């Protein structure tokens, strides 16, 4: 009877270790963007060819996460090149563009919109967030991507810089924690020991 109590206690301890074991660290999130190049924004055709121009350079970054949460990461370094866009080009001009966004090898198209305001002294470009965030599903977790608005003011002809960023929200879809390999090894050794003890006890009774 005492032996059964000891076995039950041992199994209870092993199960407790598994239940309270820390979750295994998830693989890092690798974020890659394809970049974009927009030329002649608001240009009537009578201005300098190629301006106003907005370029988002392709980028890559890695982020280590220990669980669900949110963080802000770079999508593209931005370059805004301004110049004479032609007579009658003043005022706001809407535009749309897209680029590829890849997270851990899964690729989707990120569709965005913007407005460029052209005046005699200042040309301003505004990137507005998409209406709905992109969602990447990876089975055990998902990542929502929400682009943050960006604004660049160009005071006269020249080259101006900024960054396009997004908020990444990681949501775990696991129903429970994943035990670490060491905990699984401990469980295996414990069960093997219990089995050997039971076998030895049975042989003694015979």
Q: Determine if the peptide bond prior to 52 is cis (ω within 30°).
A: yes
Tell me what pLDDT residue 204 has. 62
Distance CA 164, CA 24 (A): 32
Would you say 169 and 136 are in contact if contact means Cβ atoms under 8 Å apart?
A: no
Q: Which structure tokens are listed for 22?
A: 């820390």
For residue 43, is pLDDT > 50? yes
Per the document, the length of the chain is: 206
Rounded to a whole number of angstroms, the distance between the first and last alpha carbons of the chain is 17
Burial of 79 (0-12, 13-18, 19+ CB in 10 A): middle
Please compute the mean of the pLDDT values over residues 189-194 and round it to a whole number.
Answer: 51
Query: Rounded distance, CA 105 to CA 168, Å?
Result: 16
Beta-carbon count within 10 A of 173 CB? 11
Q: How confident is the model at residue 86 (pLDDT cuts 50, 70, 90)?
A: very high
**Does residue 17 surpass a pLDDT of 50?**
no
The predicted-structure confidence for 44-63, as pLDDT tens digits, reads as follows 999 999 999 999 999 999 99
> What is the Rg, in whole angstroms, of the alpha carbon atoms belonging to the chain?
29
Beta bridge partners of 135: 144
**What would the two tokens of residue 196 be?**
């050997």
**What does the pLDDT read at residue 129?**
73
Which residues pair with residue 151 across a beta bridge?
126
Position 179 scores a pLDDT of 46
CB burial of residue 147 (10 Å; 0-12, 13-18, 19+) = buried
Look at residue 11 and give its three-state secondary structure.
helix
CA–CA–CA angle 56, 60, 63 (5° rounding)? 130
pLDDT digits 0-9 by tens, 122-180:
999 999 876 678 999 999 999 999 999 999 999 999 999 999 999 999 998 754 444 44
Kindly tell me if the per-residue pLDDT of 10 is higher than 50. Answer: yes
């Amino acid at each position: 009877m005492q032996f059964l109590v000891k076995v039950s206690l041992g199994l209870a301890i092993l199960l407790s270790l598994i239940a309270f074991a820390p979750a295994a660290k998830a693989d890092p999130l690798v974020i890659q963007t394809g970049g974009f190049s927009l030329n002649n924004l608001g240009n009537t055709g009578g201005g300098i060819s190629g301006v106003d121009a907005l370029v988002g350079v392709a980028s890559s970054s890695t982020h280590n996460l220990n669980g669900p949460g949110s963080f802000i990461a770079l999508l593209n370094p931005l370059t805004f090149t301004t110049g004479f866009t032609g007579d009658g080009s003043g005022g706001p001009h809407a535009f749309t563009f897209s680029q590829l966004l890849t997270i851990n090898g899964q690729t989707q198209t990120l569709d965005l919109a913007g407005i460029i305001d052209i005046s005699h002294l200042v040309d301003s470009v505004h990137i507005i967030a998409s209406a709905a965030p992109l969602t990447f599903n990876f089975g055990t977790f998902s990542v929502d991507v929400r682009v943050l608005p960006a604004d660049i003011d160009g005071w006269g002809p020249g080259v101006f810089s900024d960054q396009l960023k997004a908020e990444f929200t990681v949501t775990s879809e696991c129903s429970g924690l994943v035990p670490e390999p060491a905990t699984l090894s401990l469980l295996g050794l414990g069960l093997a020991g219990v089995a050997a003890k039971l076998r030895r006890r049975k042989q003694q009774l015979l």
